[in-house]
Amino acid sequence: MDGKILNEFRQDLVSGEWVLFATGRAKRPQSDKKKEEDWKYKSAENCPFEDFKKSDNEPVWFCPNETDWQIAVIKNKFPAVKPGICKPAMTFGPFNVQEAVGFHDLFVYRDHDKHFADFSKDEIVDVIRSYKKRYLEISKSGGCVRYILIFHNFGREAGASIYHPHSQIISMPILPPDVSRSVNGSHNFYKDHNERVYDVLMKWEKEHGNRIIYENDLFIAFCPFVSKTPYEVRIFSRDSHAHFEKMPDEFDKYLADVLLVVLNKIRKALGDPPYNLFVHTAPAETDLESVHEFYSWHIEILPKVKVAAGFEMGTGMDINVVDPDEAAEELRNTDV
Ligand SMILES: [Zn+2]
């Protein structure tokens, strides 16, 4: 298999779930010990995000401008999907294979050592606006964009291969399994109950109140009754819109407020754990015109306090060792 680079989605013949193969990315998996030594960009000296020209990184745009940028959108040098012309899925023997065509950009934040929890509210507002702006640009780029994921990994154990704070945006020509399950599940719930599942969830959380961590006029953050992992937090907008990218600009400061409060509570209560944060929004291209009737965009934050093991991998079911009621109580009572 010398020199063969795979860059494609392959669909599992049994489950129907897609897996992305991107073997041309920076490095092959290594043992943890090697990884520790290898996290060499921890010092700003060798950091590729201090000088884009020197590190041969290609900027897309800067916020607010190139000289005084606080956020730079750059092309990922080792993208998991690549720009190209979209072709229909092909068959390979009994399998469906889809070329991994798309955008994979990074949002790089100016300060090498300043993490989200340390940002000001205005700085988080700029992050949210940059997310929306780049999302809309990519979604308007033409065919082949079925889903766009925005995510942020904090800490080595959460998968951040480069220390310098950055988020990622990636578009894909297929609907990823988690999104597909949520969109179909919320659609089916709507058809069966004539109610939006997220409204039912929020109403129930509001009534009980014991899993709510924080809320403001427009957003609510809670540990879901069915949390997959300890201290899992979900943030929902009260207007229950399907599309994050279409959120009105006046909402941004409220979202920034709830994000900052939650991230600071997590940092303080759990001792600055690594975490994954992502935005789940409706599919970019959908023939479900009515998606707004049953789907609500939201943000999930998953602190990395445990590692998936044999049981989880073998069953596709998580074991959560912390009662979400207690997780929420702890976070709610943490002053920040
Ligand atoms: Zn840096």
Domain regions of the chain by residue span: 7-174, 178-332
Query: 3.40.50.720, 3.40.50.970, 3.30.428.10, 3.20.20.70: which CATH number matches 178-332?
Result: 3.30.428.10
Please name the residues in contact with 16: beta carbons below 8 A apart, sequence gap of 6 or more: none
Q: Under CATH, to which class is 7-174 assigned?
A: alpha beta
Residue 53 Cα, ligand 1 centroid: separation in angstroms?
A: 14
The parts of the chain modelled with pLDDT lower than 70 are 1-3, 25-40, 143, 286-288
**CA–centroid distance for 97 within its chain:** 24
- For residue 55, report the distance from its CA to the centre of ligand 1, in Å: 11
Distance CA 76, CA 24 (A): 12
> CB–CB of 255/218 below 8 Å?
yes
pLDDT value at position 177?
A: 92
pTM of the model: 0.92
Rounded to the nearest angstrom, the distance between the alpha carbon of 164 and the centre of ligand 1 is 5
Q: What is the pLDDT of residue 34?
A: 54
Beta bridge partners, 221, equal 214, 235
What's the confidence (pLDDT) of residue 6?
85
- Rounded CA separation 137/73 (Å): 12
d(CA 6, CA 24) in angstroms, rounded, equals 7
Residue 80 CA to ligand 1 center (angstroms) comes to 22
Same-fold call for 7-174 versus 178-332: yes
Catalytic site residues? 166
